[in-house]
Amino acid sequence: MSETTSNLIVLMIAVPMAMGLLCVPLVNFPKVCRAIGLLSFGGTFTLSVVLLTLLTRHDTILASQMGGWAAPYGITLVFDSLSGLMLAAASLVALGTFVHGFGSLSPRTERRYFHPLVNLMMFGVNLSFLTGDLFNLFVAFEVMLMASYGLLVIGGGKAQLRHAYKYVVLNLLASSVFVIAAGMAYGMFGTLNMADLSRIVTGLAAEGALPPGFTALGVLFLFVFTLKAGVFPLWFWLPDTYPTCPISITALFGGVLTKVGLYAIARTFPLIFFVGPGADRVLVPLLAVGAAMTMLVGVLGALAYSGLRRVLCLMLIVGVGYALLGITVNDAGGLSGSAFYMAQSMIVMAALFLCCGMLERVTGTDETGRMGALLQNPKLIWLGVMLFVGLVGVVGLPPTSGFYGKLVIVRESLNERFWLVGVTALVVGGLTLLAAIRVWGTTFWGPEPPPEARQAEGDNERKPAGKSEWLGAALLTVAALGVGFVAEPVLSTATTAGQQLADPAAYVDAVLHNPAYAEARVAADYDGHTGSAYGGHRKTIEPHHAEGHGHD
């Protein structure tokens, strides 16, 4: 693969950043900003699909060294199958929710820097999917979070402001822990490059010489990433904060943000922290319990609440549990199931949130108890169809896309180690069906509510949904269906992603295998012994031990 092609990766982050900055002075011309945003998200989506096709054809991993600095010294951007899949799905979700926002956001809210913020958030999201450096991952998270803080309080509704603190303060806490953990990783191993870390850790584990705090370091990272992903017990902020935003922003958050946390787990843990004896004793049990409890708590919440936004947020949390289970199993099958499930869950959840927004438009509320018999309204039949498709996708009934992901994840988890979590996943699947039937029954299928219940104080004005709202929701619903009916290319990409994650040698090689790196290290005259952990074509470098740490 030529270097030019590899360097195209940079566009994935450069385009949203440039477009976002361009939108700032143009914020009072919403039409121009809309066009810029469409260009940005359409562009990144197309680019990620094209690069994914190239990747599959050449069976390789693209890596680009920023500024030409050789791998462990500079920052590396890596585009492998998992990154590509997530990038494509995230860009698509951004596109759909952005289009929906044209109609559902009031012009005033839209002018309050909606377009730049969405673009900059996607810049952070794309960077976290691409980066191969732990500290750069922190920076990407911060860019994403800053923009999301802005979007969270956009318009400044009272409920928004009140619940924003939970999100902001918790994420700031997580960021501080992330900084500390990254510093500790550097103190232990002398590098922050994920591939280099993986190489060093694998080498040390083979000698049984992992530094004592290594498992604790893993737990610190686990705290940071599971908080972003909304995993039990750090999920409680999610159903409070997400529903307060305007619906297209809720859909964007619900689709994309939790998956960034999951992606970070899927990227770093099989690569670095699942190595060594501490992982099996501490990290894997933590993750397994976390996955099971996330699913259970999520589905019970989804059954308990009647506000549609909250129910959807809790279904989102159930999905997080499934994806986490696949990562915990940590073999090629489980990881590929997770990759597929994350991508489809992004699209399906965003589509459902958008449908929920349109239902609110029509009925003036998101309380499912006050809807009912909406199917009798001939104008709403297609909305019903879209909601139905989304719900079936979340439950995971064939032929929708949710089926394949859940099938693979549950099948891989039914072994002697994880069978309990696997069985939980099956039970939760059934309960999710119940929750979905409840939503469908109370909104479209069931009897009409008594007239006095139809109106209540605090309801929004009822008006039919606009064209762009239909377009945004339809785009995502069709995409969700498409992933189910034309599952083959997505599934094969996910399978490749799973194999690449389960066997990190290819990833490490793609990042580190460049002449400049080897030469510089040899010149530094480290007393390394020959024969690298991966093929032995390079001199091994003695890792920076943590011993002698803390001298005065």
Partner 1 sequence: MTFVLAVCVAVCFAVSVYLLLGRDLKGVAMGVFLLGHAANMSILAMSGSPVKDREATELLKSAPIASYDTPKVDALSGMVDPLPQALILTAIVIGFAVMGFLLTLLVVTARSAKTLELSQLAKDPDETADPPDADTGIETGVPA
Q: Between the CA of residue 377 and those of 339, 443, 468, what are the distances in Å?
A: 39, 12, 21
Q: Is 154 a binder of partner 1 (CB under 8 A)?
A: yes
Which C-beta is closer to partner 1: that of 366 or that of 469? 366
Which C-beta is closer to partner 1: that of 451 or that of 548? 548
Q: Is 243 a binder of partner 1 (CB under 8 A)?
A: yes
Q: Which residue stretches of 441-486 are H helix?
A: 451-454, 467-485
Burial per residue of 92-103, b for 16 or more beta-carbon CB atoms within 10 angstroms, e otherwise: bbbbbbbbbbbb
- Reported residue count of the chain is 552
Q: Tally Cβ neighbours within 10 Å of residue 1.
A: 14
Q: Tell me the closest approach of the beta carbon of residue 162 to partner 1, in angstroms.
A: 5
Q: Counting beta carbons within 10 angstroms of the beta carbon of residue 398, is it exposed (0 to 12), middle (13 to 18) or buried (19 or more)? A: exposed
**What CA–CA distance (Å, rounded) separates 535 from 522?**
17
Q: Is 159 a binder of partner 1 (CB under 8 A)?
A: yes
Q: Between the CA of residue 541 and those of 203, 369, 460, 508, 522, what are the distances in Å?
A: 10, 64, 64, 14, 8
Among positions 18, 54, 146, 205, the unique one binding partner 1 when judged by CB under 8 A: 146
* Residue given tokens 């031990």 in the structure block: 545
Q: Is 451 a binder of partner 1 (CB under 8 A)?
A: no
Task: For the segment 377-396, give every residue that binds partner 1 (CB under 8 A).
Answer: none
**What CA–CA distance (Å, rounded) separates 465 from 462?**
9
**What CA–CA distance (Å, rounded) separates 131 from 87?**
12
Which C-beta is closer to partner 1: that of 416 or that of 552? 552
Among positions 157, 213, 446, 449, the unique one binding partner 1 when judged by CB under 8 A: 157
**Residue in 450, 308, 497 with CA at minimum distance from that of residue 391:** 308
Q: Is 463 a binder of partner 1 (CB under 8 A)?
A: no
Task: For the segment 359-378, give every residue that binds partner 1 (CB under 8 A).
Answer: 366
Contact region with partner 1 (CB under 8 A), list: 11-19, 151-159, 395-403, 440-448: 151-159
- Stretch 294-333: interaction string toward partner 1, x if CB under 8 A: ---------------x------------------------
Q: Is 455 a binder of partner 1 (CB under 8 A)?
A: no
Reading phi first (left if > 0) and then psi (alpha if -120 to 50, else beta), residue 330 is in: left
Query: Kindly report the CA angle at 460 between 457 and 463, in degrees rounded to 5?
Result: 135
Q: Is 212 a binder of partner 1 (CB under 8 A)?
A: no
Q: Tell me the closest approach of the beta carbon of residue 464 to partner 1, in angstroms.
A: 18
Which C-beta is closer to partner 1: that of 35 or that of 456? 456
Q: Counting beta carbons within 10 angstroms of the beta carbon of residue 375, is it exposed (0 to 12), middle (13 to 18) or buried (19 or more)? A: middle
Q: Is 37 a binder of partner 1 (CB under 8 A)?
A: no
Q: Is 65 a binder of partner 1 (CB under 8 A)?
A: no
- Stretch 408-447: interaction string toward partner 1, x if CB under 8 A: ----------------------------------------
Which C-beta is closer to partner 1: that of 50 or that of 219? 219
Q: Any idea what DSSP says for residue 441? A: I
Q: Is 153 a binder of partner 1 (CB under 8 A)?
A: yes
**What CA–CA distance (Å, rounded) separates 511 from 520?**
15
Q: Is 462 a binder of partner 1 (CB under 8 A)?
A: no
Among positions 46, 53, 176, 455, the unique one binding partner 1 when judged by CB under 8 A: 176
Tell me how many residues contact partner 1 (CB under 8 A). 64
Q: Tell me the closest approach of the beta carbon of residue 322 to partner 1, in angstroms.
A: 28
Which C-beta is closer to partner 1: that of 332 or that of 356? 356
Q: Is 240 a binder of partner 1 (CB under 8 A)?
A: no
Q: Between the CA of residue 528 and those of 523, 525, 539, 544, what are the distances in Å?
A: 12, 8, 7, 11
Q: Which residue stretches of 214-275 are H helix?
A: 214-229, 238-241, 247-252, 258-268
Q: Is 109 a binder of partner 1 (CB under 8 A)?
A: yes
The helix or strand, by DSSP H or E, that contains position 19, with its residue range, turns out to be helix 9-23
Q: Is 526 a binder of partner 1 (CB under 8 A)?
A: yes
Q: Is 74 a binder of partner 1 (CB under 8 A)?
A: no
Q: Tell me the closest approach of the beta carbon of residue 165 to partner 1, in angstroms.
A: 7
Q: Is 149 a binder of partner 1 (CB under 8 A)?
A: yes
Q: Is 190 a binder of partner 1 (CB under 8 A)?
A: yes
What are residue 133's phi and psi, to 5 degrees? -135, 130
Q: Is 244 a binder of partner 1 (CB under 8 A)?
A: yes
User: Which residues contribute to the site for partner 1 (CB under 8 A)?
Assistant: 72-73, 105-106, 108-109, 112, 135, 138-139, 142, 146, 149-150, 153-162, 164-165, 168-169, 172-173, 175-177, 179-180, 182-184, 186-187, 190, 243-246, 309, 366, 458, 460, 520, 523-526, 542, 544-552
